[in-house]
């Protein structure tokens, strides 16, 4: 490891799509902003646009850092120009011009913020969409770090792929979530890529004792979270374990369909729909096994939290971040993506064997501390030092 | 102390030196210094170096050796002495570093504490239009990894022998006194071997760090390009010897073996490839040098290289020149058969003459390549030019074509033409008849005269290179050969008259191409022409030429685009699908067009039998041979195919038409499917379950095209129909038309009281008294280049054991293929190439399979089955999972090992009775609707109204 850099206060900017949009990026950036503030850095969280309706994350009043949102409302969205037809579309062209002028204007606001920074300042761009504004702003004298908060594979299937390659090509460092993702970006000939894991959101004083016969799943009820796969797997193990229940925390557009599926699979009586919870630590403390059934992930926080609570996980190995967090057979189990037979087999193994649960749970609580906030902050500090050398 | 010192060495390269140095100064890591060492250049190199030092006094220092050392080693040694940084890297004056190289190397080194960090080196061909790049052993650099000793990764040691794409801890270099050998080529090899072995920890990173600029056309070729020089080879061997000694000293025999493998695969091949172009004395000296070194190479190394590489090394060591030179032809031209081959004790050998040497037999045994099974049109035969004479306007040539294993029979009708064609495709070609063709020993001798002046009219400029091929016609089957020049002197080229006037060129000059084949170059001999040539060159390189070339490339790209898949799809949806439906047309397809077989065939034949009035269109992929003659044949994915599908009234298929083709509502799609399911299918497969809803919806769209889906049991309903999410009304519970023949065969057998053999038995030459077994395994991802499937048992042992009682038919899955040795001829027969499996099933007295759906069909015959599931656990747990437990339901013995398999064959007859009950249950469960009338019932239901 690099020696931890003797921290001197820096100006650190986080630039995201929004300051307070519900979701992983906001929780992560606010956690990091808080951690950096605690170490004496001057932190400023910048959002390009306000969050969309209904996706507002309520912020506390006493944030130890500044926040700024550039646009007061979302700028007009435009499609990229394709072919002659688009070029002749006057209305669309006008919209595009307006958008570009607006972008210059907002970037200028950002430039003013950046210019006020002392030498050694850092700009951390958490999403590539926001980078389009940072690219227009004046970042002279600052280090720009671009982040991709998702797995390489997920990004490759999305429109972000091309934009990451374009807008992050010249940043001082691009960061992915894991070494494996970084290597894949490097093979796309992005030679400025490193990686930075997410920090552990919390570390409870009291772990679970894994005696309550309950498997828990926490997440939005969205198809990406794969709760349908979890129910199918559950239907294979539930009959052998009549004293166990599956608790599903979360809400979302799939709620109705999933209840119907549970009924079709005949597991209604063993599944408890808990709705959204504000007490994740409490929910985890009451559980013995955590199930992560997602179809796609980056560096998921939920299993990290479960492991911190000494609850072993069963997960589909859908991203490098997942097997970075869970070591198969040591502090949890991994199944190939979509393989519900294997997923069910792993659930069954943990449900049938209290000793194994205990051993894996304790191992999980121990192992997950390599992502403790101290560790991750130290990594950031040495990264700041590296890009200055 | 700087973080990194980069030692830049230079010799007579004043022009490029600043670029190299600048690439260091521009590094994202700032604290990097440059140490320039000039190998006593005779140009301005040192002056330039000093200027750079003066401009960047803090970062650049320049040194000069007192006298020229002749290689890169000494300057680097000197450079190391002057470095101050914690880490050291090397850079040559004509190359550059990637801009993040130092930062990435440093980060990796500090993270891991490694002595050496190595990154990806990229060779950039600076003379090519788009700077063609090739990555130096990129497979070593696919991920970041750290090894505690190079013995963990012998491939790194033997393949990546560059010193330049690496970053060394300076203390490490000093401590181990690591230096480059003095005044030798391949100085990197020795240095890096020492360094690798000394390193306590090595980290590899996937980042590109070093751009190696390659200038192919440079007047003075660099060392590695001048590999034909004998000293070069001698140096190489010397370095290898020293490294071998190093490895022996440390007792690293595994590493030695890996190095031997690399020597056979790489070092020796580099020099062997030049051999056909060298004279006798060179060859002798080369052999002399090699023989000694080859003697020390481990025999195991020969097993780990490609057969032709091992063969060449063996023949070289044996001094068998007559066989070696043709073998090198195959080394250069991979697919060529350059030796007459020899059959000995039922095995095929590259050549005779070494049968008394057990090792020789092992190396020369090429049975597994399967040359003996290929027809002449699938062989690329060596054709050696034996004489070349130019007189006046014509060229008279003679040569001999290798005739391996007599693939060209002595009594075959032979015809031949010499074809001259411009190397640039789609330009003209000219043909000349071959005068004489006759057998001579194990070759076919030919003679031809080509009146080039009179008949070959090049355009000029655009077609300067002309290739020559001899197309040989053997009883109507064609094979194409190239003319290998070998040692035949080529003198004199005939005059020609290019259509663009003789100003551009006036002669054809013969030469041997880089692959050793005869070719002609358009040249001009008159002084006038030279001047014109110069003008043209200027034109071609100038603006008008560039414009013309860009235009040509654009036109080519456009043509490619027009015929691309996307545009074909557009043609299908926007043009063909707007044409009216053609009544009474059916497009049939079986296994993606690869076969004329299965239920689509059975339905088609039933329609013909009933004499219906309709137009049958069959889709084929590959060869249209073996498809019926009285139908319209369309090649899969061709425009006629798409048009036929767009206008058809019916689609009848057993797998899938191209997924992206939308079916018109007026068209009825009968999906016959191709087998009941053991393993998870459709949306029951994990890979599909893991997909997002949108991806699943796209899949579903192609499945929703099925209007009717054939079902042969309720098992299909629970598995296939559910997995494809088919609606109940699409299900057609009639059984499989392809199985009608099997049900009838069983009924007839019961009626007659004995089994009748059809014409197939005679066709395959199976004697009356032999019992016929069929081995039909399921598809496996084969490792080999051609999807070759390795039989899980020793087929020769099987034939020896059971050949007196049984004939074994082998049918691999249609995407795999097997090669059988000639020893088993008549006892084991490959029936994979036959389109239709049904007659083979009907012929077989017993079936051996693993998980193939053929088990469900064969069970209808009520004959014995053996399940040879040697990889059961892997198949069931690691694969996609199964619908039921085969071990529980199998209507025959399930065996895992070759010995168990033999036991099961020995007790073959008694099993027939033992498993009678479970076979009945199996058929009831998986084939209840197969009643022998599926084809008729389908034709009655859908096509009856088409009777004349």
Q: Judge if A341 and A261 occupy the same domain.
A: yes
Q: Tell which phi-psi region holds residue B137, choosing left (phi > 0), alpha (psi between -120 and 50) or beta.
A: left
Per CB-CB distance under 8 Å, the chain A contacts of B144 are 179, 182-183
Ranges of residues in chain B whose predicted pLDDT is under 70: 217-229, 425-426, 526-530, 532-533, 537, 540-541, 782-788, 878
H helices of B56-132, where? 73-82, 101-112
For residue A97, the distance in angstroms to the closest alpha carbon of chain B comes to: 32
CA angle B352, B356, B360 (to 5 degrees): 65
Query: CA nearest B205 in A: which residue?
Result: A183
- Measured in whole angstroms, the distance separating CA B141 from the mean position of its chain's CA atoms is 22
State how far residue A191 is from chain B, nearest Cα, in angstroms.
5
| DSSP state for residue B160 in the 8-state scheme | -
Crossing angle of helices B45-55 and B17-25, rounded to 10°? 30
H-type alpha helices, B14-90? 17-25, 45-55, 73-82
* Interchain CB distance below 8 Å, B28 and A341: no
Q: Encoding tokens for residue B572?
A: 């299908």
From the list A191, A295, A342, the residue facing B100 with the nearest CB is A191
DSSP B365: B
Distance CA B304, CA B264 (A): 9
A30-72 pLDDT tens trace: 999 999 999 999 999 999 999 988 888 888 888 899 999 999 9
Let me know whether A192 and A287 are in one domain: no
Mutate to test the interface with B, among A196, A334, A389 (most CBs of B within 10 A): A389
DSSP structural state of residue B638: S
Looking at the complex, does the CB of residue A336 fall below 8 Å from at least one CB of chain B?
A: yes
Q: Which CATH superfamily is domain B567-735 in?
A: CDP-glycerol glycerophosphotransferase, N-terminal domain (3.40.50.11820)
Q: Is residue A4 part of a domain?
A: no
Residues A19 and A135 in one domain: yes
Closest to B337 in 3D by CA, of B348, B347, B326, B346: B326
Is A259's pLDDT higher than 90?
A: yes
User: Is residue A25 classed as helix, strand or coil in its secondary structure?
Assistant: helix
Report yes or no on A112 lying in a domain. yes
Residues A37, A74 share a domain: yes
Q: B30 and A389: CB-CB below 8 Å?
A: yes
CB-based burial label for B555 (10 Å; 0-12, 13-18, 19+): exposed
| CA dihedral sign of residues A202, A206, A211, A213 | negative
CB A48, CB A71: distance < 8 Å? yes
Q: What is the Cα–Cα distance from B339 to B360, expressed in whole angstroms?
A: 16
- Tell me the ipTM for this assembly: 0.91
| Domains: count for chain A | 2
Say yes or no: A129 and A60 in one domain. yes
Q: Is-contact B393 B452, C-beta < 8 A?
A: yes
* CA B1 to chain centroid: 51
Query: How distant is the Cα of A107 from the closest Cα of chain B, in angstroms?
Result: 25
**Of the candidates B627, B598, B633, which has an alpha carbon nearest to the alpha carbon of residue B615?**
B633
Verify whether the Cβ–Cβ distance A338 to B690 is below 8 Å. yes
Q: How far apart are CA A365 and CA B75, in angstroms?
A: 55
Predicted confidence at residue B215, as pLDDT, reads 81
Positive or negative torsion for Cα B675, B678, B684, B687: negative
Which neighbouring-strand residues pair with B720? none
Chain-centre distance for alpha carbon B515: 19
Torsion sign, CA atoms B297, B303, B304, B310: positive
Contact A334, A316 (CB under 8 A): yes
Task: List the single residue in A180, A183, A341 with the smallest CB-CB distance to B881.
Answer: A341
B926, exposed or middle or buried, with CB in 10 Å at 0-12, 13-18, 19+? buried
Mutate to test the interface with B, among A184, A191, A295 (most CBs of B within 10 A): A191
- Cβ of A186 within 8 Å of Cβ of B206? The answer is yes
Whether B165 contacts B120, CB under 8 Å: yes
- Minimal CA–CA distance to B11: which of B111, B94, B87? B94
Range list for CATH 3.40.50.12580 in chain B? 739-926
Confidence of residue A2 (pLDDT cuts 50, 70, 90): very low
SS3 of residue B634 by DSSP: strand
Return the pLDDT at B293. Answer: 93
In this prediction, residue B650 carries a pLDDT of 97
Lowest mean pLDDT among A2-6, A360-364, B185-189, B297-301: A2-6
The answer as to whether A178 is a domain residue is yes
Q: How far apart are CA B328 and CA A77, in angstroms?
A: 63
Q: Distance (Å, rounded) from C-alpha B395 to C-alpha B405?
A: 31
Residues B305-361: tens digit of each pLDDT: 999 999 999 999 999 989 999 999 999 998 999 999 999 988 999 999 899 999 999
Q: Which residue of A has its CA nearest to B3?
A: A389
Structural domain contains residue A100: yes
| Rounded distance between C-alpha atoms, residue A167 and residue B439, angstroms | 68
Q: What pLDDT score was predicted for residue B782?
A: 58
Nearest in space to B939 (alpha carbons), one of B585, B587, B612: B612
Structure confidence at residue A250 as a pLDDT band (50, 70, 90): very high
Both A233 and A377 in one domain: the answer is: no
Non-local CB neighbours of B1 within 8 Å, separated by 6+ positions: B84, B85, B86
Residues belonging to chain B with any Cβ–Cβ distance to chain A shorter than 8 Å: 3, 28-31, 98-101, 103-104, 106-107, 110-111, 142-144, 205-208, 685-693, 877, 880-881
Beta-strand (E) ranges in B636-782?
A: 650-653, 668-671, 708-710, 731-732, 771-776
Note whether A183 contacts B206, CB cutoff 8 Å.
Answer: yes
- How much is the mean pLDDT over chain B? 90
Q: Are B781 and B856 in contact (CB under 8 A)?
A: no
Q: Which of A187, A297, A388 best probes binding to B when mutated, by most B CB atoms within 10 angstroms? A: A187
Partner B contacted by A380 (CB < 8 A)? no
Question: Alpha-carbon distance A309 to A206, whole Å?
Answer: 7
CATH 3.90.550.10: which residues of chain B?
Answer: 4-224
Looking at the complex, report in whole angstroms how far the Cα of residue B209 sits from the nearest Cα belonging to chain A: 9
To 10 degrees, the CA torsion angle through A153, A156, A157, A160?
Answer: 130
A28 neighbors A198 (Cβ within 8 angstroms): yes
Instruction: Give the closest of B28, B692, B881 to A224, CB-based.
Output: B692
pLDDT of res. B70: 82
A317 and A247 fall within a common domain: yes
Name every chain A residue with its beta carbon within 8 A of the beta carbon of B98: 191
**A182, A183, A316 ranked by CB distance to B690: nearest:** A316
Cβ neighbours for B475, distance < 8 A, ≥ 6 positions apart: B409, B412, B413
pLDDT digits (tens, 9 = 90+) for A76-88: 777 777 777 777 8
In angstroms, what CA-CA distances link A33 with A17, A111, A124, A308?
16, 20, 11, 22
Mean per-residue pLDDT of chain A: 92
Residue A159 contacts B, CB cutoff 8 Å: no
Nearest chain A Cα to B688, which residue? Answer: A338
**Residue A69: predicted pLDDT:** 94
Question: Residue B32: CB partners within 8 Å, gap ≥ 6?
Answer: B2, B3, B4, B5, B6, B24, B25, B59, B85, B102
Fold annotation for B739-926: Rossmann fold (3.40.50)
CATH 2.60.40 placement within chain B: 377-525
User: By C-alpha distance, which of B717, B730, B643, B636 is closest to B677?
Assistant: B717
Distance from CA of A236 to the nearest CA of B (A): 14
User: Which range marks the domain in which residue A241 is found?
Assistant: 214-370
Ramachandran region of residue A226, left (φ > 0), alpha (ψ -120 to 50) or beta? Answer: left
Burial class, B369, CB count within 10 angstroms (exposed 0-12 / middle 13-18 / buried 19+): middle
- From CA B149, how far away is CA B137, in angstroms rounded? 19
Residue A357 in any domain: the answer is: yes
Strand B202-214, strand B846-849: pairing: unpaired
B935, two tokens: 């084809």
Q: Is residue A266 part of a domain?
A: yes
Nearest neighbour of A295 by CB, restricted to B31, B142, B690: B690
Say what the pLDDT of residue B530 is.
65
E-strand stretches of B289-426? 336-337, 342-344, 347-349, 380-391, 394-402, 414-422
pLDDT of residue B533: 66
Closest CA to B246 of B196, B171, B172, B184: B196
> Are A162 and A233 contained in the same domain?
no
Residue A313, beta-bridge partner list: A290, A332
Q: How many CB atoms lie within 10 A of CB B507?
A: 20
- B435's enclosing H/E stretch is strand B429-440
Please, are residues B194 and B246 in contact by the beta-carbon 8 Å criterion?
Answer: yes
Statement to judge: residues A241 and A184 lie in one domain: no
- Is A1 a residue whose pLDDT tops 50? no
- The answer to whether position A209 is within a domain reads no
In CATH, the number for domain B377-525 is 2.60.40
Of B668, B666, B649, B653, whose CA–CA distance to B584 is shortest? B649
Chain B residue at shortest CA distance from A183? B143
B167 three-state secondary structure: strand
Q: What DSSP character marks residue B443?
A: E
Domain covering B4-224 in this structure, CATH number: 3.90.550.10
Q: Do A340 and B688 touch (CB under 8 A)?
A: no
Is A52 found in the same domain as A38? Answer: yes
- pLDDT per position as a tens digit, B141-195: 999 999 999 999 999 999 999 999 999 999 999 999 999 988 777 888 899 999 9
A294 in the same domain as A184? no
Residue range A310-339, pLDDT digits in tens: 999 999 999 999 999 999 999 999 999 999
- β-bridge partners, B207: none
Comparing CA positions, the residue from B577, B648, B655, B652 lying closest to residue B615 is B648
Q: Quick check: A349 contacting B, CB < 8 Å? A: no
The string of pLDDT tens digits covering residues B775-805 is 999 887 755 444 567 788 999 999 999 999 9
The CATH code of the domain that includes A69 is: 3.40.50.2000
A280 domain-assigned: yes
Could you say which of A2, A183, A337 has the minimum Cβ distance to residue B144?
A183
């Amino acid at each position: 490891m690099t020696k931890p850099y003797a921290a001197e206060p820096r100006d650190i900017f986080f630039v995201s799509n929004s300051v307070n949009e519900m979701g992983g990026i906001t929780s992560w950036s606010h956690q990091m902003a808080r951690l950096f503030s605690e170490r004496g850095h001057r932190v400023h969280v910048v959002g390009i646009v306000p969050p969309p309706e209904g996706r507002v994350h309520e912020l506390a009043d006493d944030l130890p850092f500044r926040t700024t949102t550039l646009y007061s409302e979302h700028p007009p969205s435009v499609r990229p120009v394709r072919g002659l037809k688009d070029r002749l579309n006057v209305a669309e062209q006008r919209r595009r011009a307006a958008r570009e002028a607006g972008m210059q204007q907002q970037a200028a606001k950002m430039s003013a913020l950046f210019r006020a920074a002392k030498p050694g300042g850092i700009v951390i761009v958490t999403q590539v969409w926001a980078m389009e504004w940072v690219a227009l702003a004046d970042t002279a004298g600052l280090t720009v770090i671009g982040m991709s908060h998702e797995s390489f594979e997920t990004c490759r299937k999305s429109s972000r792929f091309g934009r990451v390659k374009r807008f992050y090509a010249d940043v001082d460092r691009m960061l992915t979530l894991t070494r494996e993702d970084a290597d894949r970006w490097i093979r796309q000939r992005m030679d400025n890529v490193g990686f930075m894991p997410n920090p552990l959101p919390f570390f409870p004083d009291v772990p679970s004792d894994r005696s309550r016969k309950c498997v828990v799943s926490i997440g939005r009820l969205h198809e990406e979270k794969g709760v349908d796969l979890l129910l199918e797997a559950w239907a294979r193990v539930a009959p052998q374990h009549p004293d166990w229940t599956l608790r599903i925390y979360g809400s979302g557009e799939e709620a109705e369909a999933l209840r119907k599926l549970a009924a079709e699979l005949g597991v209604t009586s063993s599944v408890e729909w808990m709705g959204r919870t504000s007490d994740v630590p409490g929910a985890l403390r009451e559980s013995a096994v955590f199930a992560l059934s997602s179809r796609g992930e980056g560096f998921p926080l939920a299993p990290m939290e479960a492991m911190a609570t000494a609850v072993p996980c069963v997960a589909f190995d859908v991203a490098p971040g997942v097997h970075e967090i869970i070591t198969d057979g040591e502090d949890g189990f991994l199944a190939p993506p979509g393989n519900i037979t294997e997923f069910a087999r792993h659930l069954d193994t943990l449900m049938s064997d209290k000793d194994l649960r205990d051993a894996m749970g304790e191992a999980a609580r121990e192992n997950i501390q390599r992502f403790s906030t101290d560790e991750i902050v130290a990594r950031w500090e040495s990264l700041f030092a590296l890009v200055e050398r | 102390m700087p973080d990194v010192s980069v030692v830049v060495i230079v010799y007579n390269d004043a022009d490029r030196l600043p670029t190299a140095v600048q690439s260091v100064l521009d590094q994202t890591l700032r604290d990097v210094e440059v140490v320039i060492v000039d190998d006593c250049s005779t140009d301005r190199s040192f002056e330039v170096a000093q200027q750079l030092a003066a401009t960047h006094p803090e970062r650049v220092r320049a040194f000069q050796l007192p006298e020229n050392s002749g290689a890169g080693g000494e300057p680097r040694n000197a450079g190391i002495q002057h470095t101050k940084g914690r880490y050291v890297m090397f850079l040559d004056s004509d190359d550059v570093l990637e801009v993040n190289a130092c930062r990435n190397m440093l980060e990796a080194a500090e993270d891991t504490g490694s002595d050496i960090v190595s990154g990806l080196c990229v060779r950039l061909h600076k003379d090519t239009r788009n700077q063609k790049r090739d990555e130096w052993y990129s497979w070593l650099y696919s991920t970041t990894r750290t090894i505690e000793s190079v013995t963990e990764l012998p491939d790194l040691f033997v393949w990546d022998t560059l010193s330049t794409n690496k970053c060394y801890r300076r203390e490490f270099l000093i401590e181990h006194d690591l230096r480059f050998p003095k005044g030798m080529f391949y100085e990197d090899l020795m240095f890096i071997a020492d360094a690798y072995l000394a390193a306590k920890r090595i980290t590899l990173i996937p980042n590109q760090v070093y751009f190696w600029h390659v200038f192919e056309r440079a007047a003075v070729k660099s060392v590695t390009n001048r590999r034909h020089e004998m000293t070069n080879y001698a140096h190489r061997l010397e370095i290898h010897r020293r490294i071998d000694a190093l490895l022996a000293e440390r007792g690293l025999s595994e590493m030695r073996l890996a190095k031997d493998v690399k020597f056979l695969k790489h070092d020796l091949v580099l020099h062997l490839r030049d051999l056909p172009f060298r004279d006798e004395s060179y060859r002798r000296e080369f052999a002399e040098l090699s023989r000694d070194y080859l003697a020390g190479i481990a025999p195991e190394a020969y097993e780990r290289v490609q057969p032709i590489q091992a063969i060449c090394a063996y023949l070289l060591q044996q001094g068998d020149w007559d066989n070696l030179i043709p073998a090198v032809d195959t080394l250069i031209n991979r697919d060529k058969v350059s030796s007459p081959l020899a059959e000995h004790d039922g095995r095929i050998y590259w050549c005779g003459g070494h049968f008394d040497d057990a090792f020789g037999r092992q190396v020369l045994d090429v049975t597994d390549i399967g040359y003996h099974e290929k027809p002449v049109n699938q062989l690329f035969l060596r054709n050696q030019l034996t004489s070349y004479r130019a007189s006046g306007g014509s060229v008279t040539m003679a040569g001999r074509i290798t005739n391996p294993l007599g693939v060209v029979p002595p009594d075959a009708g032979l015809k031949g033409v010499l074809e001259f064609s411009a190397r640039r495709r789609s330009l003209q070609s000219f043909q000349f008849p071959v005068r004489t063709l006759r057998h001579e020993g194990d070759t076919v001798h030919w003679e031809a005269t080509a009146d080039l002046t009179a008949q070959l009219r090049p355009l000029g400029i655009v077609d300067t290179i002309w290739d020559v091929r001899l197309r040989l016609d053997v009883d109507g089957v064609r094979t194409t050969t190239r003319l290998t020049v070998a040692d035949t002197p080529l003198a004199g080229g005939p005059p020609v008259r290019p259509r663009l006037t003789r100003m551009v060129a006036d002669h054809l000059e013969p030469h041997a191409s880089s692959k050793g084949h005869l070719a002609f170059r358009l040249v001009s001999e008159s002084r006038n022409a030279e001047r014109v040539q110069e003008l043209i060159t200027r034109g071609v390189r100038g603006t008008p030429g560039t414009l013309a070339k860009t235009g040509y490339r654009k036109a080519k790209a456009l043509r490619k685009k027009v015929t691309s898949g996307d545009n074909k799809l557009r043609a299908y949806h926007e043009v063909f699908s707007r044409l009216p439906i053609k009544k009474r047309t059916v497009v049939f397809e079986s296994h993606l067009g690869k076969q004329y077989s299965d239920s689509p065939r059975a339905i088609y034949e039933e329609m013909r039998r009933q004499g219906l009035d309709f137009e049958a269109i069959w889709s084929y992929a590959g060869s249209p041979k073996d498809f019926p003659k009285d139908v319209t044949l369309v090649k899969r994915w061709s425009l006629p195919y798409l048009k036929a599908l767009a206008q058809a009234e019916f689609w009848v298929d057993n797998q899938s038409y191209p997924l992206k083709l939308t079916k018109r509502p007026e068209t009825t799609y009968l999906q016959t499917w191709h087998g009941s399911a053991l393993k998870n299918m459709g949306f029951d497969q994990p890979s599909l379950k893991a997909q997002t809803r949108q991806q699943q919806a796209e899949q579903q769209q192609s499945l929703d095209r099925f209007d009717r889906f054939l079902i042969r049991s309720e098992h299909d309903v629970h598995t296939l129909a559910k997995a494809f999410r088919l609606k109940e009304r699409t299900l057609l519970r009639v059984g499989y038309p392809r199985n009608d023949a099997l049900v009838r065969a069983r009924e007839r057998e019961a009626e007659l009281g004995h089994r009748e053999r059809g014409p197939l038995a005679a066709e395959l030459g199976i004697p009356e008294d032999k019992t016929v077994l069929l081995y039909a395994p399921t598809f496996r991802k084969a490792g080999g280049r051609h999807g070759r499937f390795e039989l899980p048992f020793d087929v020769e042992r099987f034939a020896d054991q059971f050949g007196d009682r049984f004939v074994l038919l082998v049918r691999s899955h249609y995407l795999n293929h097997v090669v059988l040795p000639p020893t088993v001829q008549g006892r084991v027969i490959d029936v994979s190439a036959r389109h239709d499996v049904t007659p083979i099933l009907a012929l077989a007295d017993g079936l051996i399979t693993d998980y193939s759906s053929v088990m469900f069909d064969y069970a209808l015959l009520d004959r014995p089955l053996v399940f040879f599931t040697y990889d059961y656990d892997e198949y069931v747990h690691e694969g996609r999972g199964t619908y039921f437990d085969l071990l529980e339901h199998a209507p025959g013995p399930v065996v895992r090992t070759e010995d168990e398999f033999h036991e099961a064959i020995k007790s073959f007859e008694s099993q027939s009775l033992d498993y009678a009950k479970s076979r009945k249950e199996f058929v009831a469960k998986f084939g209840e609707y197969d009643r022998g009338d599926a084809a008729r019932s389908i034709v009655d239901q859908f096509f009856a109204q088409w009777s004349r």
